[in-house]
Structure 1
Amino acid sequence: MASSLPASKSGLYADPREDWLGQRKEEILDPARPIVDPHHHLWDRGGQRYLIEELAADIASGHNIVATVYVEARSMYRAGGPEEMRPVGEVEFAGGAAAMSASGGYGKAAICAGIVGHANLLLGDAARAVLEAEIAAGNGRFRGIRHSSPWDADPDVAGMYALRPKGLLLDPTFRKGFACLAPLGLSFDSWLFHPQIGELADLARAFPDTKIVLDHCGGPIGVGSYASRREEIFKGWKASIQDIAKCPNVVVKLGGLAMRLLGYDFHERPLPPSSEDLAAAWRPYVETCIEAFGPDRAMFESNFPPDKGQCSYQVIFNAFKRIAAPYSEAEKTALFSKTATDVYKL
């Protein structure tokens, strides 16, 4: 059963603080560049509200966001009905936000232009009925699902995921459910911790016709028993990234690095970090992913509001633009909009 606590309460990321973030204002770099933000959440739970109004305000802070993709966050599940069908409520919720956005009342960005929901793939063959219900609920915007699989033996790392099963991606029943995706034209977003990347590579090789999106640079860990071992951990993470990038059906999202998971303490400092600070910290991870996958299989993501615990929307995309500065115009277009548009069929 998923926790109803926001992940911030379980150590995964810091709570956003508008007053603290407001201490850092930056000029927008390359302000005309079109951006598709392929990964954000909307929720109202645990005392934390981040709905279309909050996202629209962040988008309005200056970058040229043209569209976004909603990714599952256990938001607004149906309160009743069959347990397996309750996640359909989240697709309906995200579709409602998309309809609100289409009114033009929340800025020019097409918010929730694509929707990634959840279906319990441990239902095996029975997952197909849930997926079909979500396709119907998505009104043309439903693109795939995420079935999160983070697991680690260290409870200080696992946090809210401590009750998740070990080896989920290898489970035969899970794979029966996974087999339902490609025939329906659906993709799979994968959120895991970096020691599990090999399990996802095994899954990708077993299902070469299923598009798989590796979220958050593959979840490199820098807390708990992984703390103070950054160079050693980086080498193992990099080898895993280079291996899974050999699977042509896998693409990677560049972000999620402003969560506490990576082990940086930006959220504990008196002033929020600058985009230069973040670019310096994140460049080795982002460049490794781009080098392994290529710009046509990589896309920058905000991961808001989790990443908002350490930086503002202005600053996070400025940091990405600093990291992307050496790349060609075509490569930048891929990283900021084209890959996301292609993967999520926007």
Structure 2
Amino acid sequence: MQIVHAPHLPIRENWLARRREEVLQPELAIVDAHHHLWDRQTGRYLADELRQDTGGGHRIVSTVYVQCRSMMRSHGPDAMKPVGEVEFANGVAAMFASGAYGASRCCEAIVGGADLALGHAVAPVLEKMLDVSDGRLRGIRNPLAWHDSEAVRSSPVVPPPDLMQRRSFIDGVQTLATYGLSLDAWVYHTQLDALYDLAVQAPNVTIVIDHFGGPLGIGPYIGEQAEVRRAWTAALRRLAHLPNTRMKLGGAGLTVFGFDFAAAELPPSSTDLAAAWAPMFETCVELFGAQRCMFESNFPVDKGMFGYTVLWNAFKRLAGSASPDERAALFSGTAASTYGLDLSGDKT
């Protein structure tokens, strides 16, 4: 069992069970563009738990596993320790690819955690990850979310505040282009300008902005929603002008967003979630377009605030006025093109 001190909400299955909904549009093909797996002192979310959620009625055809420091190698050079996480995720992918776990091809794409601060020296690590992933490695993510307020924490790892500006890190990101790998970036809205500068310096790398671009709602931002929205929108507008950027819609179950659904007697309904997230969703789609946006669950992190079935119902409500082509992009097409997934056998 891994000991990790993460600022995530606990999963309360009995509380989640108090909200049941019928699955909306069960025929719609979905790629869950962002989830994790782990076995920690705070709980287990491995293949069985993932299968239970993805098998709950929504048509999850594929998923993208994203770095969370699970199953790191306990031996060998530090640079190679993140290879263990890719080996682990690839093993879970093989389990689902066998068909024994249902129709979903979970962990079909893998975003690993090679240390990009190694600069160009990260190349052997990337090559090893590609080798052990059986071709499933599609991107890299490093911890980037940083804020000077102790009240703003969303990860067990707090990076240096200037990591995105360091020459070695920029070199590491640029190295991703050699291998056709993308960069996933979880940053707060206060860091979006730094992410823009990084994306400009790596034009041949697809930069995937996680979790709505992180508009903060806790600590010094309580009661400052209007100013946060202004700064967040302005920063996203700059990023959207760069053709190598993509946006993930989700992750708002993280406590840093400031939503208090977990404090209620009943879990939120999909209508509740859609109403709360509509301003973020509408802004992101307006700026980036549906062809560059994708929905994500961010499970099990967000499972402390709502269930999987309710979450995807909320996304379907948010996309209620989208055209068929836009809906297909949001739920599967953008993720497939970003992470190199073949959905030719799945019809939306």
1:229 pairs with 211, 224, 232, which one? 224
Query: Aligned runs of 1:292-307 on 2, under 5 Å?
Result: 292-307=287-302
Aligned-partner Cα distance in 2 for 1:188–1:280:
30
Partner of 1:173: 168
Structure 1 position 58, deviation (Å): 0.5
Q: Distance in 1 between matches of 2:82 and 2:337?
A: 25
Runs of 5+ consecutive residues of structure 2 not aligned to the other structure = 342-348
Q: Distance in 2 between matches of 1:336 and 1:242?
A: 22
Matching residue of 2:345: none
Moved more, 13-22 or 65-74: 13-22
Aligned positions of 1:154-193 closer than 5 A: 154-158=149-153, 160=155, 163-193=158-188
Q: 1:160 to 1:341 in 2, by over 3 A?
A: closer
Distance 1:162 1:334, change over 3 A: closer
Contact 1:155–1:162, Cα closer than 8 Å, also in 2: no
Question: Distance between the aligned counterparts of 2:154 and 2:269, measured in 1?
Answer: 28
Q: Relative to 1, partners in 2 of residues 1:194 and 1:176: Cα closer, same or farther, differing over 3 Å?
A: same
Say if 2:99 is the partner of 1:100: no
- Verify the 8 A CA contact 2:207 2:244 in the aligned structure 1: yes
SS in 1 for 2:31: strand
Q: CA deviation at 1:158?
A: 3.0
Which residue among 311, 319, 330 is the counterpart of 2:306? Answer: 311
Q: Secondary structure at the match of 2:153?
A: helix
* Conserved 8 A contact 2:154-2:255: no
1:206 aligns with 2:205: no
Determine the C-alpha separation between the residues in 2 that align with 1:319 and 1:160.
Answer: 25
Distance 2:96 2:117 in 1: 34
1:325 partnered with 2:320: yes
Residue 346 of structure 2: aligned partner:
none
Quote the offset at 1:53 in angstroms: 0.5
CA RMSD across the alignment:
1.2
Q: State the match for 1:68 in structure 2.
A: 63
Query: Does structure 2 conserve the Cα–Cα contact (< 8 Å) formed by 1:72 and 1:146?
Result: yes
* 2-structure distance, mates of 1:106, 1:162: 32
Q: 1:5 maps to what in 2?
A: 4
Distance 1:163 1:30, change over 3 A: closer
TM-score (norm 1): 0.96
Matched, 1:289 2:284: yes
**Gaps spanning 5+ residues in structure 1: where?**
none
In the TM superposition, 1:48-67 aligns within 5 A as 48-67=43-62
Q: Which residue of 1 aligns with 2:77?
A: 82
**Equivalent-residue separation in structure 2 for 1:211 and 1:109 (angstroms):** 26
2:18 to 23, 35, 40: 23
- The answer to whether the aligner puts 1:43 opposite 2:38 as a matched pair is yes
Task: Give aligned pairs, total.
Answer: 340
Distance in 2 separating the partners of 1:301 and 1:314: 13
1:274 maps onto 2:269 in alignment = yes
- TM-score, length-scaled by structure 2: 0.95
Report the alpha carbon displacement of residue 47 of structure 1 after superposing the two structures with TM.
Answer: 3.0
Q: Displacement of 1:161 after TM fit?
A: 5.7
Correspondence 1:146 to 2:141: yes
